[in-house]
Amino acid sequence: AQTVTQSQPEMSVQEAETVTLSCTYDTSESDYYLFWYKQPPSRQMILVIRQEAYKQQNATENRFSVNFQKAAKSFSLKISDSQLGDAAMYFCANGGRNQFYFGTGTSLTVIP
Protein backbone atom coordinates (compact mmCIF):
# COMPACT_ATOMS: atom_id res chain seq x y z
CA ALA A 1 0.00 0.00 0.00
CA GLN A 2 1.12 3.50 -0.72
CA THR A 3 1.50 5.76 2.29
CA VAL A 4 2.51 9.33 3.00
CA THR A 5 3.63 10.31 6.49
CA GLN A 6 3.89 13.79 7.91
CA SER A 7 5.28 13.38 11.41
CA GLN A 8 4.88 17.01 12.50
CA PRO A 9 1.22 17.82 13.22
CA GLU A 10 2.12 21.41 14.13
CA MET A 11 5.04 23.71 13.46
CA SER A 12 5.72 27.37 14.14
CA VAL A 13 8.18 29.85 12.69
CA GLN A 14 9.09 33.46 13.31
CA GLU A 15 8.28 35.84 10.50
CA ALA A 16 11.22 36.17 8.06
CA GLU A 17 12.80 32.94 9.33
CA THR A 18 13.10 29.58 7.57
CA VAL A 19 11.12 26.45 8.38
CA THR A 20 11.25 22.90 7.04
CA LEU A 21 8.27 20.56 6.93
CA SER A 22 8.96 16.84 6.76
CA CYS A 23 7.35 14.17 4.61
CA THR A 24 8.18 10.54 3.94
CA TYR A 25 6.39 8.26 1.55
CA ASP A 26 6.26 4.71 0.37
CA THR A 27 5.31 3.67 -3.14
CA SER A 28 5.52 0.62 -5.35
CA GLU A 29 5.45 2.67 -8.55
CA SER A 30 8.56 3.54 -10.50
CA ASP A 31 7.10 6.64 -12.14
CA TYR A 32 5.57 9.03 -9.66
CA TYR A 33 5.35 12.64 -8.65
CA LEU A 34 5.41 14.40 -5.32
CA PHE A 35 3.54 17.53 -4.35
CA TRP A 36 3.06 19.99 -1.54
CA TYR A 37 -0.32 21.64 -1.17
CA LYS A 38 -1.26 24.54 1.08
CA GLN A 39 -4.68 24.91 2.69
CA PRO A 40 -5.28 28.28 4.34
CA PRO A 41 -8.29 28.91 6.59
CA SER A 42 -10.33 29.66 3.46
CA ARG A 43 -10.24 25.88 2.86
CA GLN A 44 -8.90 26.20 -0.69
CA MET A 45 -6.30 23.63 -1.72
CA ILE A 46 -3.41 25.42 -3.41
CA LEU A 47 -0.54 23.69 -5.18
CA VAL A 48 2.76 24.95 -3.77
CA ILE A 49 5.37 22.86 -5.55
CA ARG A 50 5.83 19.62 -7.48
CA GLN A 51 8.72 17.25 -8.02
CA GLU A 52 9.08 14.57 -10.66
CA ALA A 53 10.67 11.48 -9.13
CA TYR A 54 12.91 10.91 -12.15
CA LYS A 55 14.51 14.34 -11.74
CA GLN A 56 17.45 14.57 -9.37
CA GLN A 57 17.34 18.35 -9.17
CA ASN A 58 15.27 19.69 -6.31
CA ALA A 59 12.31 21.83 -7.33
CA THR A 60 12.15 25.49 -6.35
CA GLU A 61 9.31 28.02 -6.53
CA ASN A 62 10.31 31.43 -5.23
CA ARG A 63 10.60 31.10 -1.42
CA PHE A 64 9.58 27.42 -1.49
CA SER A 65 12.02 24.61 -2.19
CA VAL A 66 12.15 20.89 -1.60
CA ASN A 67 14.78 18.44 -0.46
CA PHE A 68 14.03 15.25 -2.38
CA GLN A 69 15.91 12.18 -1.20
CA LYS A 70 14.67 9.36 -3.43
CA ALA A 71 16.54 6.52 -1.78
CA ALA A 72 15.29 7.57 1.63
CA LYS A 73 11.79 8.31 0.25
CA SER A 74 11.88 11.70 1.85
CA PHE A 75 10.39 14.92 0.47
CA SER A 76 10.68 17.92 2.76
CA LEU A 77 9.48 21.46 2.08
CA LYS A 78 11.57 24.47 3.02
CA ILE A 79 9.93 27.87 3.32
CA SER A 80 12.37 30.75 3.38
CA ASP A 81 11.67 34.29 4.59
CA SER A 82 8.38 33.15 6.12
CA GLN A 83 5.46 35.52 5.78
CA LEU A 84 2.22 35.82 7.71
CA GLY A 85 0.37 34.61 4.63
CA ASP A 86 2.23 31.31 4.80
CA ALA A 87 0.21 30.30 7.85
CA ALA A 88 -1.84 27.31 6.74
CA MET A 89 -2.13 23.55 6.76
CA TYR A 90 0.40 21.93 4.45
CA PHE A 91 -0.19 18.55 2.84
CA CYS A 92 2.36 16.34 1.18
CA ALA A 93 1.05 14.10 -1.61
CA ASN A 94 2.39 11.25 -3.71
CA GLY A 95 0.89 10.97 -7.19
CA GLY A 96 0.97 7.62 -8.90
CA ARG A 97 -0.51 6.37 -12.14
CA ASN A 98 -4.10 7.28 -11.30
CA GLN A 99 -4.32 8.36 -7.69
CA PHE A 100 -2.86 10.72 -5.16
CA TYR A 101 -2.10 9.75 -1.58
CA PHE A 102 -2.06 12.55 0.96
CA GLY A 103 -0.41 12.88 4.33
CA THR A 104 -2.33 14.02 7.39
CA GLY A 105 -0.97 17.54 7.20
CA THR A 106 1.21 19.94 9.17
CA SER A 107 -0.34 23.08 10.62
CA LEU A 108 2.09 25.98 10.25
CA THR A 109 1.84 29.05 12.47
CA VAL A 110 3.80 32.17 11.59
CA ILE A 111 4.67 34.34 14.59
CA PRO A 112 4.94 38.09 13.92
Partner 1 sequence: DAGITQSPRHKVTETGTPVTLRCHQTENHRYMYWYRQDPGHGLRLIHYSYGVKDTDKGEVSDGYSVSRSKTEDFLLTLESATSSQTSVYFCAIADRGNQPQHFGDGTRLSIL
Binding region for partner 1 (CB under 8 A): 6, 31-33, 35, 43-45, 47, 50, 91, 95-105
Report d(CA 48, CA 66) in Å as an integer: 10
Select 75 or 91, whichever has its Cβ closest to partner 1.
91
Report d(CA 82, CA 63) in Å as an integer: 8
Select 16 or 45, whichever has its Cβ closest to partner 1.
45
CB of 25 to partner 1, least distance (A): 13
Q: Is there a contact between 67 and 76 (Cβ–Cβ < 8 Å)?
A: yes
CB of 101 to partner 1, least distance (A): 8
Q: How many CB atoms lie within 10 A of CB 108?
A: 21
CB of 18 to partner 1, least distance (A): 24
Select 29 or 81, whichever has its Cβ closest to partner 1.
29
Q: Cα separations (Å) of 53 from 37, 43, 65, 69? A: 17, 28, 15, 10
